[in-house]
Structure 1
């Protein structure tokens, strides 16, 4: 039988070119430092997205704040701004030191996107932003709205009737579908979420309870996206949100960086040459972590280092960056099954748009075993009383991995700040979270 070729090469020749790939294919935990990493100034020369684009997204979210405050009471405290706390996790830092027998240098903070209002995950940033942008464009085009108005007027039967003439569709492993389904249904759009086999049942049930049409697939994420796109194209009034290629999603996520800067200032934490920032972002198709990382580079430039965290069985971004094939290759091409408990990260083929945008800006990628996700879930609950869904714990191994790899030979103790991005968890039903915790305890 003829061996399958990937971009004209056998798997063995790919392994010879990238020796770390052997461990990746064997689904072992690995750390990959990006050899193409460049200074901020050099890397940005090749990128078409600008700071003005992100500022435009930030202004749009401010315009929608009066509307969000009216229809989602949980945003009233923040005046309609969808944002999450930043907290220091001293006890978890001690726990990591003990469990992994590593000197945990620097401060350890958790960015609690698990607490983001409306959707309970990082997807409340990009997903909600893209739906709001589409709604604004439609309303302005039909002379129903101007950017000078109070957007609270959108919360009316007249607007809901208008938006009901239009449809929104998305393919998702779970959390993006939740964010887009919840906001689209609230505005009045007809919304369909195409869910892959690994999407959790409770997420499908929650969407249906909000009046969202959920279509289930027995195959993985890529198939759900492909079918969602295909069906959407048959309806001229349907708008497909493309998790693999959307600049709007990306910009919605990038806004987080400006808000994080203010939070760090409020905590008297300086980020500069002597106080570098290391950020660890769970990564599925790449849109959420990619957008956040891009925003962080705009804000902190060479003083921030961003790392993506992926399950050992779904390392699509790592393989895409390492081989430089991006979305031209999948984990399945290398014989990896793409089966993981981290449902939001169960993606076999990374976003080519994100991979190419960040290929000189991302500092590295590491992988984490599913069992470690559950153990860290239990540890964080025990030490800080914070409960995340399994995929959100992927970032927690980052500081340990980096310090062990050294990489951290260059790390100075005093000024260092680590931020683990907690991507989701607050909407997980209590009995399911208890089962996650129990699994961590058994392991």
Structure 2
């Protein structure tokens, strides 16, 4: 008799699947005694209110206000009816055009406040202190170091340089060239690596550990990043209320979140579960070649397990999602709050880059189109997994694309058109 595989059926064959997390606890929320507690989530919301004033100055096209950083817009497309589908448009975030503009920028500003406090300046009493000449003179003494496939480096680099920090980013082989160019143009020191995402992060960690004036933004283990992302849940709550949409047992909320290492979707899941409890189900979306969170959770292991362990390549057009090893912090803290993982093929991503441009005028990177691809392929099965008699409300989270240079954008569209043409021919 053939031994049963450790991995869900289809994973090793790079087939797109919906994996319903068997350890999912719909009622579980953040607890004060946990590694990330309710007080941490509240502090993130308060900090973002303060940070928004600073962001409106250093990124002049950001409006001051309630702290919301991207729109929540209803999407009226025949392909998605009868479901009520909303788009959380983080691809339009003015700081860096991706979801990483939440956690990465939050951590940079949190570190800026820490530096000021250590020099006797209270940022709460003087919210605009990080923009003073005295603060800039202090920040120039410090170097922020980060490892990334692209978007986190872009967010940390741009925010850090705006405040006057020296910034060094270590980027993996998957990172897009244009992101490296823009960072260098902003005065960021970019170090390129032939290895994957984990290699770049390890290299950045080692560099930062040798310098007392270096601060490492740890995408794999940072609680600050995690809670920075969590504040987005309060934006969602306010935006849903403004739209007159009540989330409850009769109208559950399904949220599709692109997942790389897991920090951004993990933090947002923490925030959403804390607000909506069992009435929200967060679905992580990963490429079939890089389902690092699915592999980690499905293994049931308390030690890291990467996608190479089940024979996958970690090669995908979605650079922001090309991660072989999931964050153990997220797996441990958020794992039981993740409803499941949906995987999609690269052709699905290309198709929905083109579809969302032609249907709704959304300019997305392949990573940013992941939620649409997952919903189109798995949405019905996902809703049935939760015994929902109602279609409920769906939020698809976008990330990346609005900053794409014209040449890269043209290529992304060409790939989408090719896929659509090939699939149309198969149908005929």
**Shorter chain as normaliser: what TM range?**
over 0.9
Give the conservation status (yes or no) of the 8 Å contact 1:307–1:398.
no
Q: How far did residue 184 of structure 1 move?
A: 0.6
Give the conservation status (yes or no) of the 8 Å contact 1:95–1:383.
no
How many angstroms apart in 1 are the aligned matches of 2:296 and 2:350?
27
Tell me what 2:158 maps to. Answer: 182
Structure 1 regions of 5+ residues with no counterpart? Answer: 1-11, 97-103
Give the conservation status (yes or no) of the 8 Å contact 1:95–1:379.
no
| Secondary structure in structure 2 of the residue aligned to 1:24 | coil
Q: How far did residue 398 of structure 1 move?
A: 3.3
How many angstroms apart in 2 are the aligned matches of 1:413 and 1:434?
39
Tell me what 1:56 maps to. Answer: 43
Tell me what 1:247 maps to. Answer: 223
Residue 287 in structure 1 maps to residue 271 in structure 2? no
TM-score normalised over the length of structure 1: 0.90
Give the conservation status (yes or no) of the 8 Å contact 2:287–2:345.
yes
User: Structure 1 pair 202/108, CA: closer, same or farther in 2 (3 Å)?
Assistant: same
- Per-residue CA deviations over 1:344-394 (Å, capped at 9, x if unaligned) read 000000001101112211111010000110101111111111111101111
Picking from 120, 133, 138, the partner of 2:110 is 133
Q: How far did residue 57 of structure 1 move?
A: 1.3
1:368-383 equivalence runs, <5 A: 368-383=344-359
How many angstroms apart in 2 are the aligned matches of 1:127 and 1:367?
25
Tell me what 2:422 maps to. Answer: none
How many angstroms apart in 1 are the aligned matches of 2:164 and 2:356?
38
How many angstroms apart in 2 are the aligned matches of 1:80 and 1:433?
32
| Secondary structure in structure 2 of the residue aligned to 1:129 | helix
Picking from 293, 297, 302, the partner of 1:317 is 293
Tell me what 2:410 maps to. Answer: 434
Aligned length: 417
| Secondary structure in structure 2 of the residue aligned to 1:170 | strand
User: Structure 1 pair 408/17, CA: closer, same or farther in 2 (3 Å)?
Assistant: closer
Q: How far did residue 37 of structure 1 move?
A: 1.0
| Secondary structure in structure 1 of the residue aligned to 2:411 | helix
How many angstroms apart in 1 are the aligned matches of 2:341 and 2:140?
42
Q: How far did residue 134 of structure 1 move?
A: 0.8
How many angstroms apart in 2 are the aligned matches of 1:309 and 1:146?
37
Give the conservation status (yes or no) of the 8 Å contact 1:67–1:153.
no
| Secondary structure in structure 2 of the residue aligned to 1:74 | coil
How many angstroms apart in 1 are the aligned matches of 2:328 and 2:64?
35
1:14-413 equivalence runs, <5 A: 15-18=4-7, 20-21=8-9, 23-41=10-28, 47-75=34-62, 77-79=63-65, 81=67, 83-91=69-77, 94-96=78-80, 104-149=81-126, 151-325=127-301, 328-400=304-376, 401-404=378-381, 407=384, 410-413=387-390
- Per-residue CA deviations over 1:218-264 (Å, capped at 9, x if unaligned) read 11000000000001100011010100011000000000001110001
| Secondary structure in structure 2 of the residue aligned to 1:132 | helix
How many angstroms apart in 2 are the aligned matches of 1:245 and 1:276?
31
User: Structure 1 pair 42/288, CA: closer, same or farther in 2 (3 Å)?
Assistant: closer
Q: How far did residue 16 of structure 1 move?
A: 3.1
Q: How far did residue 44 of structure 1 move?
A: 5.1
| Secondary structure in structure 1 of the residue aligned to 2:338 | coil
Runs of 4+ in 1 over 6 A off after TM superposition: none
Aligned-residue CA RMSD (Å):
1.8
How many angstroms apart in 1 are the aligned matches of 2:384 and 2:131?
51
Q: How far did residue 46 of structure 1 move?
A: 8.1
Q: How far did residue 185 of structure 1 move?
A: 0.8
